[in-house]
Amino acid sequence: MNKSFCFSILALKPKYQLLAKEFAENIEKHSPETTVVIGTDNPDAFNDCSNVFAFKLKKKGILHCYHDKRFVIEKALTKFNVAIQIDADTKIFNSLPESIEKSTGLAAVHIENLVEHAQKYNPERLIYLRKLADKLNIDINSVSYIGESLFAVSADGDKTSEFLKQWDLIARYLELHRIHAGSGHGIGLAAAKAGLEITKPSWLESINEAKRHLDAAAWKSNKTLWNHLSRRIDYHYRFNKARILALKDFNFYYR
pLDDT computed for residue 255 by the predictor: 83
Q: What's the predicted TM-score (pTM) here? A: 0.92
pLDDT computed for residue 152 by the predictor: 97
pLDDT computed for residue 167 by the predictor: 97
State the pLDDT confidence band at 218, using cuts at 50, 70 and 90: low
Higher pLDDT, 191 or 231: 191
Domain boundaries, the chain: 5-219, 223-255
pLDDT computed for residue 236 by the predictor: 86
* pLDDT tens digits along 128-181: 999 999 999 999 999 999 999 999 999 888 999 999 999 999 999 999 999 998
DSSP state of 195: T
Kindly report the CATH number that applies to the domain delimited by 5-219: 3.90.550.10
Tell me the mean pLDDT in the region 113-136: 96
Tell me the mean pLDDT in the region 186-192: 98
* pLDDT tens digits along 7-62: 999 999 999 999 999 999 999 999 998 999 999 999 999 999 999 999 999 999 99
* pLDDT tens digits along 64-101: 999 999 999 999 999 999 999 999 999 999 989 877 88
Tell me the mean pLDDT in the region 220-243: 79
CA distance 121 to 131: 18
DSSP letters spanning 207-229: HHHTEEE--GGGS-----HHHHH
pLDDT computed for residue 177 by the predictor: 93
pLDDT computed for residue 238 by the predictor: 87
What percentage of the chain exceeds 90 in pLDDT?
Answer: 74
